Structure 1
Amino acid sequence: MDYQRYFKEEVSDEEILKAYAIVLPMLKNLVRDDMAFGLSDKEKYLFYVSAKEFDLNVTYGTEVVDLVKQCIRSGNIEKGTIPQEVLGKEIRVIAAPIRNNRGQIIGTISDGISMDESKYLISSIGDLSESITQVSQSVNEIAKSSTELAHAGQKALELTTRTMEASDKTKEALDIIKAIADQTNLLGLNAAIESARVGELGKGFNVVASEIRKLAVQSKESVSTIRDIIESVNNSVENISQAIKETAVLSENQAAVTEEISAAVANINQSINALNDFSKRFL
């Protein structure tokens, strides 16, 4: 930085470093994260401001860490992680060189932030991502089951429709049987009349006519009984058909809603993955 722009006279290296020392405590109010700040010359720390939640116990005269040495050598801003065994806590550090008005590096200013919260955040995001993935798989299974249930409901509805159609055809067959029974009964009645007309010679024929009429009556009674049974079956089938229709509608709605939930979960999972990738940039 061109310090001549701010000062008419040349400022000594010591004065520049003192100015940084005065400003350093104020930097804590300018950042949102809980950070520690350090000021050094090219060999040792000159000033240190601890964070609220952690203290690296850096004191005046402590030798600068390797990352700060690298910053001094390269003359560039350096970023890196200091292992826990060096300062007692794993710290993410950014070090920037301080230059005098002649462009010479005279020291560094650095900040450090604990990796505990970042690691916890990343771990939580990973756990959340895993949970969302499991939920997504479960929802997909439910969606698949709902779709299969809807298809099964449709098939069952088709079967009940066929049953109703078969029942109608059975009714037609019963009508034919009833008509035959009526005709048989009439035929028996005519035979009885004819038997009575011929007198003694028609007695045997009268017995046959009587049995025919009994058969006709029994046939009509059986037709009536079968018709009642079919009506009862039809009522049951209609009730089942209605229940299946309602179930099919509910299954289709459930399948549609489940697909929407699955899509929403997929979007959430995508966002969490993006957040996870973003958070790793700070490690």
Structure 2
Amino acid sequence: MGYKEHLTENLTDEEILRAFSIVLPYLNDLSRDDTAFGLTDTEKYIEYEDPKGFQLQLRAGSEPLDVIKDSLRSGRLEKGDTNVSGKEIKVISIPIRNSKGKIIGTISDGIDLDDTTRLVNSVSEISESLDQVSTSVSELANSASNFALTGQKTLKQAQDVMETSKKTSDAIEIIKSIADQTNLLGLNAAIESARAGEHGKGFNVVSTEIRKLASQSKESTRTINDIVINMNQSINTIIGAVNESASESEEQAAAIEEISATIESINANLKRLNEFIERFA
């Protein structure tokens, strides 16, 4: 026979309830929450301890709450929400048995549902807010990723333009070479015109026009070359800016993804906390 069985076998029903009555005033100090504790026989409260934070207007002789009556009837732990003196509380009641297994009373506790409800609501509101923030962060991450992608496309286009510009420079060199050759041809025509004297006047007209064309070609190539050089400088500036912007966008996207993951983790913990509160409230 264990100590518990030996103890209850040697105590009367009144002595068992008296023992609970002696312990009852100490339970509130042991409880983490502000809790009401009650002791009943099979008909009425025989002891009641009010919590520090609220009053339920229960006392010795008061009729047991419905949850306690259910526990007396079922012979097992019962819990439920009830309204006492305008206060919503959650009550847990367990039956007390004598050595023969007969139910002789109950011991119960009650906690204020207002605090629990406020906590659950606060957790839910925080969770909803985090959901909204997470959605906004995801949209921002997508925007940053799209911006980075656009920057990469712009960079590719700028590089393509640079390649085209290089080909233009090559073409200018060819035109310049042709102009030099044309100018040389004009000089040769002028020399031949001088040698031919009166008969070489036609050569002289041709050589003048050829050299004029060569001069104009050179001037045009210089102008085009200046434009190409300026364009190359502008393109290099654009490429540098796009590279820097793309790098920053990629870093921002990575940072946003990390923030989003942290928010999801916090949200998951809040949901677990909410489930825990609802389970034990």
TM-score range, shorter chain: over 0.9
* 1:99-110 map, 5 Å: 99-110=97-108
Cα distance, 1:135 vs structure 2: 1.2
CA-to-partner distance for each residue in 1:17-57, whole Å, 9 max, x for gaps?
A: 22222211011121111101111111111111111111101
Find the residue that maps to 1:108 and give its secondary structure. strand
Matched AA of 2:178: I
Q: Distance in 1 between matches of 2:72 and 2:85?
A: 20
Aligned: 1:6 with 2:4:
no
Cα distance, 1:190 vs structure 2: 1.3
Q: Which moved more, 1:86-95 or 1:166-175?
A: 86-95
Find the counterpart in structure 2 of residue 275 from structure 1: 273
Find the counterpart in structure 2 of residue 213 from structure 1: 211
Q: Distance in 2 between matches of 1:265 and 1:239?
A: 38
Find the counterpart in structure 2 of residue 17 from structure 1: 17
Q: Distance in 2 between matches of 1:129 and 1:44?
A: 44
* 1:71-150 map, 5 Å: 71-82=71-82, 84=83, 86-150=84-148
Cα distance, 1:10 vs structure 2: 4.2
Q: Distance in 1 between matches of 2:39 and 2:268?
A: 42
Find the counterpart in structure 1 of residue 170 from structure 2: 172
Find the counterpart in structure 2 of residue 237 from structure 1: 235
Find the counterpart in structure 1 of residue 69 from structure 2: 69
Cα distance, 1:80 vs structure 2: 1.2
Find the counterpart in structure 2 of residue 28 from structure 1: 28
Matched AA of 1:282: F
Q: Is the 8 A contact 1:2 1:101 kept in 2?
A: no
Cα distance, 1:133 vs structure 2: 0.8
CA distance 1:4–1:146, shift in 2 (3 Å): closer
Q: Which moved more, 1:102-111 or 1:113-122?
A: 102-111
Matched AA of 1:92: K
Q: Distance in 2 between matches of 1:37 and 1:156?
A: 73
CA-to-partner distance for each residue in 1:34-92, whole Å, 9 max, x for gaps?
A: 1011111111111111111111010221111111111111111211111x2x4321111
Q: Is the 8 A contact 1:48 1:59 kept in 2?
A: yes
Find the residue that maps to 2:56 and give its secondary structure. coil
Runs of at least 4 residues off by over 4 Å? 1-4
Q: Is the 8 A contact 1:76 1:97 kept in 2?
A: yes
TM-score (norm 1): 0.93
Cα distance, 1:202 vs structure 2: 2.4
RMSD, aligned CA: 1.9
TM-score (norm 2): 0.93
CA-to-partner distance for each residue in 1:175-212, whole Å, 9 max, x for gaps?
A: 11111111111111111121122222323431232122
Q: Is the 8 A contact 1:77 1:94 kept in 2?
A: yes
Aligned residues: 280
Find the residue that maps to 2:62 and give its secondary structure. coil
**Percent same amino acid among aligned pairs?**
54
CA distance 1:186–1:120, shift in 2 (3 Å): same
Q: Distance in 2 between matches of 1:269 and 1:10?
A: 55
Find the residue that maps to 2:81 and give its secondary structure. strand
Find the residue that maps to 1:56 and give its secondary structure. coil
Q: Distance in 2 between matches of 1:155 and 1:50?
A: 72
Q: Is the 8 A contact 1:3 1:101 kept in 2?
A: no
Find the residue that maps to 2:87 and give its secondary structure. coil
Cα distance, 1:125 vs structure 2: 0.9
Q: Distance in 2 between matches of 1:107 and 1:117?
A: 29
Aligned: 1:49 with 2:49:
yes
Matched AA of 2:30: L
Matched AA of 1:255: A
Find the residue that maps to 1:6 and give its secondary structure. helix
Cα distance, 1:168 vs structure 2: 0.8
Where does the alignment leave 5 or more consecutive residues of structure 2 unmatched?
Answer: none
Q: Distance in 2 between matches of 1:272 and 1:210?
A: 91
CA-to-partner distance for each residue in 1:201-257, whole Å, 9 max, x for gaps?
A: 323431232122112111111111111111111011111111111112222222222
Find the residue that maps to 1:90 and give its secondary structure. strand
